[in-house]
């Protein structure tokens, strides 16, 4: 591709779309609606599972993987989210880093390859809750200390 400044670059073909209607962007200055009361309930429920073991493909309190955990928590509140972390990029509404709120989904690069491979729920104050394969259980961690890259933030609580 070539930018308007004549800078040439490359992009993975899976990120190329043939219509601007397929591209969703949130303006930095436009805060998205947020349901703080529901977010509080979601996070209170999610914290009940801290310490539950990590199981690849797990989607119950017997064991969770990241998307299984997130889906299980949101399903309790009749909110549908994907089962695979890779599918979270199109769920809800995109929000900017400056507008991140408790209850938002944090989409992370798990393998340092710029591909969505991990998901968690933001708690506020730089903390998020997620099923960690590295820790082997559901944990609360600092977003700023997560080893992968934050690729996006999605809001499903409105």
d(CA 21, CA 85): 23
Active-site residue, from 110, 130, 154, 155: 130
Catalytic residue among 66, 119, 138, 157: 66
76 as an active site residue: the answer is no
Tokens of 26: 């949130």
DSSP per-residue codes, 3-57: -TT--B----GGG--S-GGG-----TT-PPP--HHHHHHHHHHHGGGTTPBB-TT
Rounded CA-CA distance 30/76 in Å is: 29
Instruction: Name the active-site residue from 64, 71, 104, 118.
Output: 118
Active site residues: 66, 118, 130
């Amino acid at each position: 591709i070539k930018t308007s400044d004549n800078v040439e670059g490359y992009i993975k073909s899976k990120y190329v779309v043939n219509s601007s209607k397929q591209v969703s962007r949130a303006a930095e200055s436009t805060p998205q609606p947020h349901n703080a009361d529901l977010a509080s309930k979601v996070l209170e429920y999610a914290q009940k599972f801290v310490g539950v073991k990590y199981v690849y493909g797990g989607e119950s309190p017997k064991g969770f993987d990241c998307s299984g955990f997130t889906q299980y928590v949101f399903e309790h509140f009749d909110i549908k989210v994907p089962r695979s972390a890779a599918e979270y990029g199109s769920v809800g509404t995109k929000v900017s880093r400056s507008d991140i709120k408790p209850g938002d989904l944090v989409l992370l690069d798990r393998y340092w390859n710029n591909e969505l491979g991990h998901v968690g729920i933001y708690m506020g104050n730089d903390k998020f809750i997620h099923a960690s394969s590295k820790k082997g259980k559901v944990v609360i961690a600092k977003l700023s200390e997560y080893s992968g890259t934050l690729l996006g933030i999605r809001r499903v609580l409105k």
